[in-house]
Structure 1
């Protein structure tokens, strides 16, 4: 169940109410007239079956609500309502599988912003990966994977391609590129400092590392793992269940590969740099491809399910004259 709150000028209130009241997926409607100060107008509240959220939000967008007001979409964690249960039963699909595009898009916009927090997490994760490589510690590699913030940014690239959001694509691509460049640069400088202090030797980078060898040895499995992990991660991101998202974080060696690129650059070990750079490219490419395919399939499935719903009259889908 979702709770939708719409803040609009009074002249749009009746159109918004009609858009809600004529849809069987809506179980509860309330209106608070004259309580909104900016914009001056009303607040309309509605409980909506999650499966129908996309069509309702799109209908409100066609009414011009985002241009003059606001649409809030919030998940309801717990609710007790016979009318709500009947609304969910009438609406085709399953609540846990439903993709609410407004929610997914907002989350990817938020998580793909280039800011100091993102850069700090990316740098710390890559530093931790560098230490993991020097110590040949698989536990530290996993820690670096969990700490890295790049997964949702990569998912944002796939979402932008599927939903044709040019600005989101540019934003996510910039954040991803700058994040890796800065992290690799910082870790390279740290590795040079460790080399000068005698804390790190070239044998630590080029020697036998059975625990972390996979980081610089890309093969077909690297791409396959990236595909599976990204598909699972996108499903967790778009569905009502987030259980698999953390698992996706620790399945793909993007951050560890970046850490090994930095160490290889600091010691002039170009074979390490080439192998790790290829690993990084394979991982990101596989994740983008899997993200696009998963999102495109979900969009196709939910578009078809939407056509099965009882359509409200066409005059509800256009702004009043």
Structure 2
């Protein structure tokens, strides 16, 4: 369930309370008159089932409370209440199947920001991938997959496509368009220094057969990307974040970027182009599958209410 807190102008408290009381899947409704100081007004709180959250948020936004006051939604792990149990039973559908669009937009929007933290993780992941290539270490390649933060912007692209949110598409596209080239440039510099120090040579890269899968593009490259994208979006919409680790290990995005850099440094342009193709195929597959999952979820829910403007 979710804990909902709404800051409401005093003159609209009655409307907000009526809305929550009439809504299936809402219980523990509380009014704290005059408790809000900035912005001034009342505070209305309630417990909301995951199945009802999207509808409740849309209704509150129709009252313009996201602009006149404020709406906060946070997950509650444990609730001991017969009233909450009845609300869960009354709400249609299953909590695991419910998509809370505002939550998803906030999550993907935050992860799609081209921030210093995002760039740092992506650069470190590319460096790890390059080390995995020159040391012929699949374990290091897997480590690079896990460290890489690129699924966030890719998921944001899928959400932006389904919701037709140009701002989210631009933000995620910018993060990827700046992030990968910059990470690869830093990795190229580090790889050149390693080569000059005699840590590896062209023969080392050519004999690294355990990591050949990184640049070898085939039908299963797209199949794995599609499956991983679908699993990743299901994990995000159902709040089963543990499944995301499996998604990170499944896709060959960061390893492909790292391999492309190493191959370019040693002059193996066929492998470099193959790695770049692997990167593109994986990114496209992830976005398409993630968008497909969201489209199916929207059809299953049977409505598509406009979200608050933010």
Short-chain TM bin: over 0.9
Distance 2:257 2:185 in 1: 10
CA contact (8 A) 2:24 2:52 kept: no
- CA deviations on 1:100-131 (whole Å, 9 max, x unpaired) are 11111111111111111111100000000000
Could you tell me how far 1:203 is from its partner in structure 2? 1.4
Q: Which residue of 2 is the match for residue 241 of structure 1?
A: 240
**SS of residue paired to 2:295:** helix
Could you tell me how far 1:34 is from its partner in structure 2? 0.8
Q: Which residue of 1 is the match for residue 216 of structure 2?
A: 217
**SS of residue paired to 1:28:** strand
Distance 2:215 2:248 in 1: 18
Distance 1:228 1:52 in 2: 28
Q: 1:1-321 residue pairs with structure 2 within 5 A?
A: 1-205=1-205, 207-303=206-302
**SS of residue paired to 2:27:** strand
TM-score under structure 2 length normalisation: 0.96
- CA deviations on 1:56-78 (whole Å, 9 max, x unpaired) are 10000110011111111111100
Distance 1:216 1:285 in 2: 16
CA contact (8 A) 1:189 1:266 kept: no
CA contact (8 A) 1:29 1:46 kept: yes
CA contact (8 A) 1:95 1:240 kept: no
Distance 1:202 1:11 in 2: 74
Report the count of equivalent residues: 306
**SS of residue paired to 1:288:** helix
TM-score under structure 1 length normalisation: 0.93
**SS of residue paired to 1:250:** helix
**SS of residue paired to 2:210:** coil
Distance 1:215 1:64 in 2: 50
Could you tell me how far 1:22 is from its partner in structure 2? 1.1
CA contact (8 A) 1:254 1:284 kept: yes
For structure 1, which runs of at least 5 residues remain unmatched after alignment?
A: 308-321
Could you tell me how far 1:162 is from its partner in structure 2? 0.3
Distance 2:146 2:281 in 1: 19
Could you tell me how far 1:296 is from its partner in structure 2? 0.7
Distance 1:90 1:197 in 2: 68
- CA deviations on 1:2-46 (whole Å, 9 max, x unpaired) are 111001221221111111011121111001111111111011001
CA contact (8 A) 1:191 1:200 kept: no
Could you tell me how far 1:266 is from its partner in structure 2? 1.6
Cα RMSD over matched residues? 1.5
Could you tell me how far 1:303 is from its partner in structure 2? 2.3
**SS of residue paired to 1:30:** strand
Deviates more, 1:143-152 or 1:189-198: 189-198
- CA deviations on 1:90-109 (whole Å, 9 max, x unpaired) are 11111122111111111111
Distance 1:287 1:137 in 2: 25
Could you tell me how far 1:241 is from its partner in structure 2? 2.3
For structure 2, which runs of at least 5 residues remain unmatched after alignment?
A: 306-310
- CA deviations on 1:212-260 (whole Å, 9 max, x unpaired) are 0000111000000000011001100110322311100100010000001
Q: Which residue of 1 is the match for residue 308 of structure 2?
A: none
Could you tell me how far 1:264 is from its partner in structure 2? 1.7
